[in-house]
A and B are shown apart, each in its own frame.
Chain A
Amino acid sequence: MNMINSLTNKTQLSIYTDSQKIKKILTDDKVKFVDLCINADVAILESKLVKNCNSVPVITLKYKLLKVYPNSVGSFFWQKGRPNIVFIESRLNNHNITIGSEFSAFVEESIW
């Protein structure tokens, strides 16, 4: 939740997600799930089939989806049984997003 909060200054977040797990995890009062991606402040996506999501900053749940969604700014995913976080610096800048210093260790210059 802190990671998501760091992407926006809004007190009330509208989130679009195609992941049922995310809907179960994010139960904060500040979070409101929307049905259309275009209406969201942030989109959290785990598949590459979501359309009409180009203007919204996207967090992917798989590393390789960073390449699928050009508007993705970061990714939360499991790798080798370990949780991983990646933010892409240039994409953050594209969305004028400044993340907190505690996440600076996860900022990468490029997608491999």
Chain B
Amino acid sequence: MGILCIISLISYLYILFSEKENEIKDKMISYQINAIQLQKLKIENWLNKSCREFKKIETCILKNPDKSDNLNGLLSILINQDIRYVFLVFQDSRGRYRFIGDGASEPAKVMQKIDPDNKQSWDESYFSLKDRIISSYANSDGLWRTYLSPFVRKNKTRLMLVTDFSISLNDKIQNTITPIKNILFYILGITVSIFIIGIIQMLMYFYAKKESYTDELTKLWNRNYLRKLLDDKISYNQYIIAMADIDFFKKINDQYGHDAGDIVLKDIAKMFRHTVNRDDFVFRYGGEEFLFLLQKKSYQQILDALMLATQQLTIRVTNQTIKVTISVGVNKDLHRYKHFADMIKSADIALYNAKISGRNQITYYSDSMDEKSSSNFQIVQAALDEDRIFCEYHKIVDTISNQVFKYEALVRIRGSDGTILYPNSFIEVIKNTNIYTDLTKRVIDIVCHKILTCPGLHFSINLGLQDFNNTEIINFLLNAIEKNSQLLDLMSIEVLENDKVDNEKRCIEVIQLLQDKGLKIAIDDFGSGYANFSTLLSYQFDIIKIDGAIIQKVTEYDKAIKIVESIVNFAKLHNMIVICEFVSSKEIYDILKSIGVIYMQGFYFSKPSTECIAHLDPDTFN
């Protein structure tokens, strides 16, 4: 505001000076004119006295050279550095102007004609009997203004005094005014520049502030803005919290690439922005997670609109279209909580329940929700963060050599209270999430390390078939192999195929790639679910692990024995190794041995443990 006042003031002064410039010039001339008028009066008096006897002054002067000299002398007094020419003229009968007197050092001849540069103005002054100041056209000769002053007698002009002001007078005035104007101009320029810089900085500040509150990809508010709202003490009673998560987002990234994933996030975010009300807030809370603060009076309507809009949303990625669903967890009783973090936690629990209940739905938090199971995300994440992930190793035995063929690595979590968590309590929940990927990478890492510390022993890692579509996991595995090539001989992969897989073609290619490098791939739980003979049409496995459900039945059903036998014979024909798991008794062991099964795994031999030894306990077969 202050700067605007200064700019206004300086602008006013500048304009004032510019406008007053001519006034100042006229004022300077008027001082000169006062002197000219005084001298003109003297000349007039002298003429009246000296040429009293003559009818015409021109005759008086023409016939009396001394009077002409006197007159010229009187005129020459007026000449100074500012007045260039002073002369007296009269107009003859033909309208021409002729000299009567001249103040110059070499005066013009009396009666000599002079052609005015501006005859019209001269005539106007002459006949109007009025003094005039006119601009001179003769400025090539350094003339600036001409002062015309008629000598009037009996209402008629007898003579006219012509005074030419030199341009030096104008220059003098300019030289005084111009520096002042320049100073004002520079000050104005500097002030305006400061003002503009200030405006730009202010805009940049607001832009940067907005950028710091905005997620770069989706242009939604980010956590910084959420923190700001909390600091500004938003009134929670007016809102509900909803946590939304894009279902199977990891798959989208793996299948279509991360660029496609970004497009999905952007399009979804745009849809969210357009669906909520102006007084609602949408934040990008995590990778594919969004937090909504919706007004209590309209949240139901908005949530329904969000689900519908998501269903209708078609996302175009190069030549393909992607459809997505979201799961939403809602906490609508914020007044019950003291801390915002707790409000979010409850919404998160509701979100988790939406996920495990099948996804693509809205779930409202209630106290009856199983907090323990709903916090498994946090448990696994905490275990990863606190390095409480470990493996137990289950022997697979070579029943001919009575040596350990290899160990199967089984993931465990050591709880913060010392209890052991098994995969069936957390794996399904975290599937297709980043936590699952992190956990799988950790297991690969643990097994690679185990191989180094237990030289000569072979270990297998369990991967789901879908994991072969997970670029991050496969790249991690390939990097590990590249760093330590002995892994190819001492590590194998057991593929768990209990779900239909997306992009089977890619899975086949990746498995082939690993096999080409030298890695052995086994199919687990063969004979049940998707893992059956038809699978072998697509994949070239090195090892078949027969499903424990079939093995356990060999003591009850001949058919089970026949099935196992046929698998063993098939495997022999195709150079595949067969492993039977869930061998829990000597009876099962004997039956399997009789039909040619060499490699077996089960509690009959040992339970999983963290220890690994190459040989079997001598009492193993007792």
Q: Is A84 an interface residue (CB 8 A)?
A: yes
Contact partners of B138 in chain A: CB under 8 A: 80-82
Task: Report whether A81 and B112 are in contact in the complex, using a CB–CB cutoff of 8 Å.
Answer: no
Task: Report whether B141 and A78 are in contact in the complex, using a CB–CB cutoff of 8 Å.
Answer: yes
1/0 contact trace for B144-177 toward A, CB 8 Å?
A: 0000000000000000001010000000000000
Task: Report whether B110 and A112 are in contact in the complex, using a CB–CB cutoff of 8 Å.
Answer: yes
A108's contact among B108, B113, B117, by CB below 8 Å, is which? Answer: B113
Tier of interface size on chain A: 10 to 19
Contact partners of A63 in chain B: CB under 8 A: 109, 112
Q: How far is the CB of B71 from chain A (nearest CB, A)?
A: 16
A8 CA to B111 CA in the complex, in Å? 29
B142's contact among A81, A82, A84, A112, by CB below 8 Å, is which? Answer: A81
Contact partners of A85 in chain B: CB under 8 A: 115
Q: Is A101 an interface residue (CB 8 A)?
A: no
Task: Report whether A81 and B115 are in contact in the complex, using a CB–CB cutoff of 8 Å.
Answer: no
Contact partners of B272 in chain A: CB under 8 A: none
Q: How far is the CB of B197 from chain A (nearest CB, A)?
A: 51
Q: Is B355 an interface residue (CB 8 A)?
A: no
A102 CA to B164 CA in the complex, in Å? 28
1/0 contact trace for A59-92 toward B, CB 8 Å?
A: 0000100000000000000111111111000000
1/0 contact trace for B82-112 toward A, CB 8 Å?
A: 0011010000000010000000100011111
Task: Report whether B117 and A82 are in contact in the complex, using a CB–CB cutoff of 8 Å.
Answer: yes
Task: Report whether A112 and B84 are in contact in the complex, using a CB–CB cutoff of 8 Å.
Answer: no
Known: A63-B109, A112-B109. Contact between A81 and B141, CB under 8 A?
A: yes
Q: Is B456 an interface residue (CB 8 A)?
A: no
Contact partners of B115 in chain A: CB under 8 A: 79, 82-85, 106
Task: Report whether A86 and B113 are in contact in the complex, using a CB–CB cutoff of 8 Å.
Answer: yes
A85 CA to B113 CA in the complex, in Å? 9
Task: Report whether A79 and B117 are in contact in the complex, using a CB–CB cutoff of 8 Å.
Answer: no
Most chain B CB neighbours (cut-off 10 Å) among A81, A83, A106? A81
Q: Is B382 an interface residue (CB 8 A)?
A: no
Q: How far is the CB of A100 from chain B (nearest CB, A)?
A: 17
A112 CA to B68 CA in the complex, in Å? 14
Q: Is B114 an interface residue (CB 8 A)?
A: yes
Contact partners of B114 in chain A: CB under 8 A: 79-80, 82, 84
Identify the closest chain A residue to B110 (Cβ): A112
Contact partners of B596 in chain A: CB under 8 A: none
Contact partners of B136 in chain A: CB under 8 A: 81
A80's contact among B85, B109, B110, B111, by CB below 8 Å, is which? Answer: B85
Task: Report whether A81 and B116 are in contact in the complex, using a CB–CB cutoff of 8 Å.
Answer: no
Q: How far is the CB of B58 from chain A (nearest CB, A)?
A: 11
Task: Report whether B112 and A112 are in contact in the complex, using a CB–CB cutoff of 8 Å.
Answer: yes
Count A-B contacts at CB 8 Å.
Answer: 45
Contact partners of B164 in chain A: CB under 8 A: 80-81
Task: Report whether B113 and A84 are in contact in the complex, using a CB–CB cutoff of 8 Å.
Answer: yes
Identify the closest chain A residue to B94 (Cβ): A105
Contact partners of B109 in chain A: CB under 8 A: 63, 112
Contact partners of A79 in chain B: CB under 8 A: 108, 112, 114-115
Q: How far is the CB of B143 from chain A (nearest CB, A)?
A: 5
Q: How far is the CB of A105 from chain B (nearest CB, A)?
A: 8
A25 CA to B262 CA in the complex, in Å? 79
A3 CA to B113 CA in the complex, in Å? 18
A112 CA to B58 CA in the complex, in Å? 13
Contact partners of A108 in chain B: CB under 8 A: 113
Identify the closest chain B residue to A84 (Cβ): B115
Contact partners of B110 in chain A: CB under 8 A: 112
Q: How far is the CB of B79 from chain A (nearest CB, A)?
A: 12
Contact partners of A82 in chain B: CB under 8 A: 114-117, 138, 141
A82 CA to B140 CA in the complex, in Å? 9
Task: Report whether A81 and B85 are in contact in the complex, using a CB–CB cutoff of 8 Å.
Answer: yes
Contact partners of A83 in chain B: CB under 8 A: 115
A60 CA to B108 CA in the complex, in Å? 16
Contact partners of A78 in chain B: CB under 8 A: 141
A80 CA to B88 CA in the complex, in Å? 12
Identify the closest chain A residue to B89 (Cβ): A80
Identify the closest chain A residue to B137 (Cβ): A82
Q: How far is the CB of A64 from chain B (nearest CB, A)?
A: 8
Contact partners of B162 in chain A: CB under 8 A: 80
Identify the closest chain A residue to B112 (Cβ): A112
1/0 contact trace for A34-66 toward B, CB 8 Å?
A: 000000000000000000000000000001000
Task: Report whether B108 and A81 are in contact in the complex, using a CB–CB cutoff of 8 Å.
Answer: no
Identify the closest chain B residue to A81 (Cβ): B141
Task: Report whether B113 and A81 are in contact in the complex, using a CB–CB cutoff of 8 Å.
Answer: no
A79 CA to B104 CA in the complex, in Å? 11
Identify the closest chain A residue to B116 (Cβ): A82
Most chain A CB neighbours (cut-off 10 Å) among B84, B85, B110, B113? B113
Q: How far is the CB of B392 from chain A (nearest CB, A)?
A: 113
Contact partners of B142 in chain A: CB under 8 A: 81
Q: Which 3 A-B pairs have the closest CB atoms?
A: A81-B141, A81-B138, A112-B109
29 A–B contacts from the bound complex (CB under 8 Å):
A78-B141, A79-B108, A79-B114, A79-B115, A80-B85, A80-B87, A80-B104, A80-B108, A80-B138, A80-B162, A80-B164, A81-B85, A81-B136, A81-B138, A81-B140, A81-B143, A81-B164, A82-B115, A84-B113, A84-B114, A84-B115, A85-B115, A86-B113, A105-B96, A108-B113, A112-B109, A112-B110, A112-B111, A112-B112
Given contact pairs A82-B114, A84-B113, enumerate 14 new A-B contacts (beta carbons under 8 Å).
A78-B141, A79-B114, A80-B164, A81-B84, A81-B85, A81-B140, A82-B117, A82-B138, A82-B141, A83-B115, A84-B115, A106-B115, A108-B113, A112-B110
